[in-house]
Amino acid sequence: MIREEALGRKAGFEELRAGNLGVRLATSAEEIDAIQALRFRVFYDELGAKPDASTLASARDRDEFDSIADHLLVVDHDIAADARGVVGTYRLIRQEAAAKIGRFYSADEFDLAPLERFPGRLLELGRSCVDQAYRSRAVMQLLWRGIAAYVFQYDIELMFGCASLRGTDLDALAPDLTYLYAHHLAPEPIRPRAVADRYVDMRRLDDSAIDQRRVLGGLPPLIKGYLRLGGFVGDGAVIDWQFNTTDIAVVVQTDLVTEKYYRHYAR
């Protein structure tokens, strides 16, 4: 069951619009169901994740964290203003919500102890996806506008989550992993580390031999978005065999968010 606090009724910010698209928090069980259906289409049908029997039968990507999370969604008003128009999503888990389960989602892959010692308020970001027909910079910017509004509403000081590189071939991903470790490693006080039994060393090549511009240009848009916001990566990657990805931890201190975002959203 989706609890009332997971439906955005206390979020305190109105829908933000960009033309026919709007971003806000889910406010009904029907919208949560549409989000889970979208996640299934993207993660399983499109990107090749391996569903268990229950996931396959329901054609929904869902887990226990959905019931305590807030769900950011993008709707296309040319289709509908409700669940029928959902075309993008991001899952937001505040530390108060995670406490109801006893852990954050990322804890299965990363040791979050350094983040949990951080004195400010935490927000875990995850389960981001956009319908294939809507993947554009404009939609990602709209999602970030929603996240920024949420951060201001709840006085979030540190955001973090798992971000994925597609595939599990570490040789193919070696330039990306090496570049991220060499140039965007988080300061030690806020540096998550992959759990010991799943730890994959990111330092796979000589950094001086990497074409940094090419690697940065080829990173997934989501990871590039975190880096534009002053984000860092943790120590070590984790292979997620079910989702056919190699995951890294990403950390963003909200006081390091670029001035462009602060100027825009403080209004």
pLDDT tens-digit series, residues 23-71: 999 999 999 999 999 999 999 999 999 999 999 999 999 999 999 999 9
Q: What confidence category does residue 256 fall into, taking pLDDT thresholds of 50, 70 and 90?
A: low
Q: What is the dihedral of CA 212, 217, 219, 221, to 10 degrees?
A: 150
pTM: 0.90
Where are the chain's structural domains?
A: 4-265
CATH 3.30.43.10 fits 4-265, yes or no: no
What is the tens place of the pLDDT at every residue in 63-91? 999 999 999 999 999 999 999 999 999 99
- Percent of the chain at pLDDT exceeding 90: 82
The partner residues of 86 in beta bridges, in order of sequence, read: 75
CB 226 within 8 A of CB 236: no
Task: For residue 153, give the nearest of 19, 24, 250, 38 by alpha carbon.
Answer: 24
pLDDT at position 1, please? 45
Q: What CA–CA distance (Å, rounded) separates 236 from 248?
A: 7
